[in-house]
Amino acid sequence: MLSTRQFEEALGPKIGQEIGLTEWIKYDQAQVDAHGQLTGDDGPIHSDPEWAARETGFGGSIVQGSLLLSTFTRMAKSLEWPDGDLAYRMNYGFNRVRIIRPVKTAQHFRGRFRLKESRPKSDLALLVTMDATIETEGSEQPAIAAEWLAYLQFNK
């Protein structure tokens, strides 16, 4: 197992490189509805496919941006880290988020992650910055582009 310092050194050559690409994921209408009920983001653009098809140019309902952003945590399981003595990893937030295009309900999407920076937060912790995108099947333009931070805590 790598120490905090060795882990950081192992990340160095990966700066600017892709460190994760997820499998394709999709949210069906029941999942979008459940998220809407939980968060209060249940407007007809998300919860009423017929209304959304008629009143928007999306052809149906779309997934909430908050649901997509929360999916970064699920997608982080695909990240390729060195074999360090990690106690835990934690979502540390975002420096920047842009929702560029909607993701339609039941449309396939995936996450792509590039390592941007790694710096010590303490003797036993690193703060890692990643460029994270959500891309949809069949489109060259990302749906979401974000600068995402992860806090990595190591064992003593």
Per-10-residue mean pLDDT of the chain, 156 residues long, equals 78 92 97 98 97 96 98 92 86 97 98 95 92 96 97 89
Judge whether 51 and 129 are in contact, CB under 8 Å.
Answer: no
Gap between the Cα atoms of 113 and 111, Å rounded = 7
pLDDT of residue 83: 80
Fill in the amino acid letter for 19.
I
Judge contact between 130 and 92, C-beta under 8 A: no
pLDDT value of position 65: 97
Looking at residue 151, its pLDDT comes to: 94
Helix/strand/coil for 49: helix
Domain locations in the chain as residue ranges: 4-26+64-154
The CATH code for residues 4-26+64-154 is 3.10.129.10
